[in-house]
């Protein structure tokens, strides 16, 4: 899983039927360099380059741009999305990343 900020949304009309109704978000992962100074004050810590890489994630929590979220990959993402499918459905949706939490607070002791 990773911590990121929702940067936008993606929509499409041509897609696999199993992906119908699944909202997609663009999420930018946080890196060590994005944290407040002193947060990663462990030996050898160096400021990191920011990244522009965005991850496309399914969204079941109605997150929106500016929200800080946790994103899960792989089977865990399909497990999260299948919570919104009819009971007994198997997690066969064609996705590999999903927003699994909207973050309230990140606690970083100095």
Among 8, 64, 65, 74, binds other proteins (CB under 8 A): 74
| CA atoms of 57 and 23, how far apart (whole Å) | 8
Among 7, 19, 26, 76, binds other proteins (CB under 8 A): 76
Q: Which long-range contacts (CB under 8 A, 24 or more apart) does 35-44 make?
A: 35/108, 36/108, 38/110, 39/108, 39/110, 41/110
Among 5, 19, 22, 73, binds other proteins (CB under 8 A): 73
| CA atoms of 96 and 74, how far apart (whole Å) | 5
54 binds other proteins (CB under 8 A): no
Residues of this chain that interact with other proteins (CB under 8 A) are: 1-3, 29-33, 35, 39-40, 42-46, 48-49, 60-61, 70, 72-77, 79-80, 83, 98, 100-109
């Amino acid at each position: 899983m990773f911590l990121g900020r929702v940067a936008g949304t993606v929509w499409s009309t041509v897609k696999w039927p199993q992906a119908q109704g699944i909202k997609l978000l663009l999420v930018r992962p946080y890196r060590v360099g994005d944290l407040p100074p002193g947060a990663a004050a462990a030996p050898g810590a160096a400021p990191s380059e920011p990244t522009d890489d965005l991850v496309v994630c399914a969204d079941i929590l109605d997150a929106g741009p500016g929200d800080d979220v946790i994103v899960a990959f792989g089977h865990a993402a399909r497990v999260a999305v299948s919570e919104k499918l009819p009971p007994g459905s198997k997690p066969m949706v064609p996705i590999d990343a999903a927003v699994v939490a909207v973050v309230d607070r990140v606690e970083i002791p100095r």
